[in-house]
Amino acid sequence: MTKAFLKYFCAAVFVIQSLIGHANTLYLGSVGDDPDEEIREFNAIANYLQKHLASSGIDKVKTVVASNTKEMINLVSEQKVHLYIDSPFPSILVSQKTGSSIFLRRWKKGVVKYRSVIFTRKDSDIDSLENMKGKSMAFEDPFSTSSYFLPKATLKMHGLKLLEVEAGDAIPSDTVGYKFSDDDRNTMLWVLRNKVNLGAMNESSYFKLAKKRIKDLKVIENSIWVPRHVVSYGPNMSNEFIQSIKKVLTHMHESEEGKKALNLFSKTTRFDEFPNGAEKDMKPLLQLLNNQ
């Protein structure tokens, strides 16, 4: 081994280390309340990236699970997470706080985009956004894009006030009082059983969970369409390295090995680039978020 080659090799290793923050290890980030489950879900994609990024100096790919968005912001800021895969609203929040960049879409379970619906019982006297004032509403949890961020932002964009309430709390007449159900199924049951006046969730979940009771429900408002899931990369990563990651992810669906790994990753169909560029396609979401 010549001195020139050794010098070049050491310099290359140093560059890789500085790009991803940890020597030869790329960290994937996810938010969830069950770390073991999240790591199992990400295992196939992590193994695939580890194998196909070896030529870029990556020896290991590991998954880091944050319990909430605030923790993910800290992890990305400290370069303890390099790639973050999540729904769009938390991804935007992380981007705004850390300088991370959204660059790819994930077709989770074959779905590239979705929207939220805000609904109530058909026999309810609520037939407009204005009639929602003074009423109770259920969201799934504070980390959900389609069952919290998106419908909440939609209501605020229309000038409605929202306030988190507990059971038994009085709801001001000019405000929508909301609580968390912890699951879309609970939201559906709460509305059908008159435990709350309104519910919000992903449109496809609405039809799936309503089943034969769909005739007993009505939709008051739809949100804009948003990407199902997005992929972000952390700050201080080189364009060359990002292009390598992009190439691996966006070509996975073209091989049997890649298709298998995608399917094991919650039945992902593919990763692809935004049709009009991430900045342009994400702009409506940013505007909605700014109204929160």
Residue 16 confidence (pLDDT) above 60? no
What is the reported pTM? 0.81
pLDDT value at residue 291: 65
Name the 3-class secondary structure at 254. helix
Q: Which one, of 97, 46, 48, lies nearest residue 68 by Cα?
A: 97
* Lowest mean pLDDT across 110-114, 141-145, 153-157: 141-145
DSSP string, 231-254: EEE-TT--HHHHHHHHHHHHTGGG
Look at the block and give the residue holding tokens 């049951």: 189
Pair 87, 30: CB distance under 8 Å: no
Asked whether the beta carbons of 138 and 179 are under 8 A apart, the reply is yes
Residue 79, pLDDT score: 93
The strand ranges marked E within 10-88 are 25-31, 60-66, 83-86
For 25, the token pair is 């290890």
pLDDT at 52: 97
pLDDT (0 to 100) of residue 276: 94
How far apart, in whole angstroms, are the C-alpha atoms of residue 233 and residue 100? Answer: 6
Burial of 144 (0-12, 13-18, 19+ CB in 10 A): buried
**How many angstroms separate the CA atoms of 8 and 289, rounded?**
46
Rounded to 10 degrees, the C-alpha dihedral 249/254/258/261 comes to 90
Q: Give the model confidence (pLDDT) of 49-76 as tens digits.
A: 999 999 999 999 999 999 999 999 999 9
Q: For residue range 88-101, what is the model confidence (pLDDT) as tens digits?
A: 989 999 999 999 99
Instruction: Say if residue 19's pLDDT is above 90.
Output: no
What distance in Å separates the CA atoms of residue 98 and residue 93, rounded to the nearest whole number? 9
List of domains in the chain: 8-111+228-274 (3.40.190.10), 114-226 (3.40.190.10)
